[in-house]
Every structure is written in structure tokens, then in C-alpha cells.
Copies of this chain bind each other. A is one copy, B any other.
């Protein structure tokens, strides 16, 4: 041990609502932090006892009682090491987002979060009242200021802790991943360090919870604003931070964080793995189309769950090309998954016959196209019902934005891994998958043909995505600007985008709210996904100009 005081950041994966199970996981971490890592303090993430975000579970009085009981047990177990644990706190008929400092079988301090985020994916003011007071605890002569997550994103709480005598800040987090988040955290931490002269220990949760992925990536920053300890992203682990007698952070283990594509990929892998496992599914089922979206979804699923847990079905219609059949088969064989082909020609004809009495003439284009997608949805769900496997949908963010998907058809399924990944990023991730395989000396996973072919839903003869949509290199920047950066049409046109195209795309985004409202959840990887952070009315007279 190089320092005077050792703080162990417990970057662990918890389960929302499972208070007793979480307490059990934390007890194991306490023992390891004390016995193996020789820590003086072990620090758990924000609201660790109940998991994050607990949402309306917080409104149930019995959940509060269970948390209080688990906290008492943890208090008793805090021997030989200080334990810093996040939990909801009921007091005076109100609820607080709190952290308790446990020592020698007692609670020696409680801090209540002062800054409650109520924007983006966060609804903390729905549940909590804000605290007002700083909290500083002395350990081996080092005075540590306690803060929770959002508290460091404004100057107030850290300054208050410094004013109360803190020389180092302990910040416990449930901070979800999106691309670029690591830089944002580092910059905000450096601001606080520079403002106050306190070093900073940033301990984050890891794991997937519905649409959010918490990436871990815990770190410690010295008073010069340098990250001297860096925990890996997307992995559980206990990570020691050593402070000297002045509370300054000492050099420790520095994991490297992944590059952008790898980071997104790992977030998606963790997101789907935790959704599947935490919900108790034994495996998943994917409808392959021979296109790049389902090809990437399959690769992700196999990485997340293993070959044996993944099954795929190809359901060709009269419009399915040979390229599609060959591409799907090649990847399935390469990965060694259970793979079946079920043609839908006969079912399609049967529906057309049954419906012939309802329509005047042949069904319109969209009716026949949706019919194929929905027959596939019915088949997948039947196999899912029979096998207990979760159906993974394969739609990307570009499609979700403009509604280029069939409700109850290709949108039928329990989890949509890549729903926040634009088509442009889908290509980048497919290349990443193949590059990684090549670097390992393995055959590529996604056939080159699947990547190079023009995108097509193959629901009509010779159909291309570009028949209905602007090219993705035009579409995706508009979606990114409007959805993630909140630009208006006027601003996008001023930035040089084509006016009629921008208006058309924004109109499509607006009109397809009803589809997104019935879409399965999927992993959030951007600043604004179509999920908790996108709350638009379906019924809306808002027109964009």
C-alpha cells in the first residue's frame, strides 16, 4: 500500500428492487475490500441497496421498510472497515436520496443529496426532497466530503463540503453511459477539483437496467486534475484508491477506457446480457433478414450470452433475395448457432386469400409489406412462447426515428439492442466486429456482402430503403441534430442542411411517436434516446415550421 488511507471503490452490478440480494452482494464486497484489499473504507454506488433507478418502487412503503432493515444488518457487519452505502432514506414523511457512513457497527454520518436531477432520463424530484447540508467524515485524520452523483455537476455541494473542512471528495454515482460521457465526467470533476483544491474519488455503478447501462469507469483525480486511478468500463470489480495524509490521491492502477466503437459495442453487450439474465430468460431468438441490422444484433447476442443461448430463424418471403439467404446462413454457420429457415410464402398467400373479401382489388403496397413483417412476428413469438426464449428485435435508431418499421411485425419482441444506434453507427459496429475477429486471427463474422449491399427491407420487388427514405448519410445527421442536439428546423437549415429534406424528416419523426410508444426497450447509448429522455405527446398539432 503506497498511501496512508485506502478507499475501495466497489464497482458492482446490482438488481433494482432486490434489496436483500443487493445487501448480500455488498456484504461479500465488504469482506473482500477489508480482507483482500486491506481497505479502510469501501464505497458503494448511489442508492446501492435498492438499485438504480428504482422508479415507482420508491413509492411503496414496504420497500422503505425493507431498505431500513437491510441497512441495520449492514451496520452490524461494518467491522474492521468503514462502509459507505447509498440508499433511500425515509424521514419526516419525506424521502431522501442518502448515503450512510457505517463504522464499528454504527452509523456515524448520513448525507442527503442536494442536487436532484429531474431532466433527461432522471425523475428524482418525483421521489426525493433535496438535502441542504454538507457532510464531512474523518478517517485516519483525512477529512472526506460526501456527495452523490449530480452534486458534483454544479459548484455548490463540493464547495460546501470543502468549507466544512473536506480535503478530498467522495462522490457515489449511478451515472448512465452515453458516447462522450467519459470526457464530460472528467471535465466536470476537474472543474470541481480546481475550484476547491479537493481531490476526488468517483465511484460508479455498473450494469444494465432496462434501457440504461451504467458503465462503471470509476476513477480518482488528484488536486492537479489528473486521473491517477481508473477502473475499467462495463466490468465489475473492487478498485483501491490510496490517499496520503493530506488526502491527495496517489498513483494507482489505470485501466484504459475503450475507443468509441468498442465502447458502444460493450455497452450494448452489457445491456442485453443484463436484461436477459436479470429477467430470468434462458436464451434469445432473433429473426435474421440477411441485412446488416439483424447481422449485428446476432453478433452482439452471441458475445453477450454465448452461442448456446442464441437461436436464429430466417423467414424468407417471395421478395427475399439469394444474397439475403446466403448472408444470414454464412453468419449463423460462422458463429455456430442454432439456425432454421421457415419460408412464409404459403402463409402470405393464405392471408391474401382470407383478406380478399375485405379489400377492393389487391392490397395496397404497405398492407402487403406489413403483412410479411407481421407473419414473421407471429412465427417468432410462437417459437418464443414454446421455447421460453426472449425475442430480440433488430431495428436501429434511424428506423425508429422515421417509423421505418412494422408495429407487431419486426417491432415484435422483448428487447431492441440497437434501437439507439443509427444506421451509420450500425455499419461502424459491423466493421468493428469483423476487425476484432481478424485481429484475433478468426474469420470475419458479418459477411462482406451483407455490409456492402444497399439496405433493403425486401418486402416488395426490388425495394430499397432509399425509395422511401433519404440516404442514411443525409438522414442520420438530421436525426442526430434534431433528436440529440435539439436543433430546430431553422437551425438545421442555417447549418447547411437541405430544407425540404429536413422538413420531411422532422415531420416523419413527429408522426411516428405512436410506433415508438409501443416499441420494446433497448440500450441507450446517445445523449438522447427514444426512451425515458424523449417524452413527446402522440396527439400533437405541432408542425415544425
Contact = CB atoms under 8 A, between A and B. Distances in A.
A537 B53 contact: yes
A370 interface: yes
Interface stretch (A68-76, A145-153, A178-186, A357-365): A357-365
Contact of A378 (B209, B378, B537, B539): B378
Interface in A1-53: 15-19, 21-22, 51, 53
A378 B351 contact: yes
A377 interface: yes
A366 B387 CA distance: 11
B63 A536 contact: no
A367 B279 CA distance: 20
Interface in A522-542: 534-542
Contacts of A350: 346-347, 350
Given A16-B542, A123-B535, A374-B382, 6 more contacts: A60-B488, A62-B489, A118-B126, A370-B385, A378-B408, A408-B412
14 contacts: A16-B541, A17-B541, A18-B541, A22-B541, A57-B537, A62-B490, A279-B538, A340-B357, A347-B350, A355-B383, A374-B377, A374-B381, A378-B408, A414-B514
A545 B114 CA distance: 32
9 nearest A-B residue pairs (beta carbon) = A18-B541, A17-B542, A62-B488, A15-B541, A408-B408, A367-B385, A17-B540, A374-B378, A125-B125
Given A488-B61, A488-B62, A542-B18, A520 B521 contact: no
Interface residues on A, range: 35 or more
Contacts of A209: 537, 539
Given A371-B378, A520-B518, A386 B408 contact: no
Contacts of A412: 407-408
Given A53-B537, A63-B542, A209-B539, A370 B358 contact: no
B56 A534 contact: yes
B408 A381 contact: yes
Nearest to A539: B278
Given A119-B126, A374-B381, A16 B540 contact: yes
B351 A367 contact: no
Contact of A541 (B51, B59, B408, B541): B51
A537 B278 CA distance: 12
Contact of A21 (B61, B279, B541): B541
Interface string A241-254: 00000000000000
A517 interface: yes
Contacts of A357: 340, 342
Contacts of A374: 377-378, 381-382, 408
A444 interface: no
Contacts of A544: 62
Contacts of A125: 118, 125
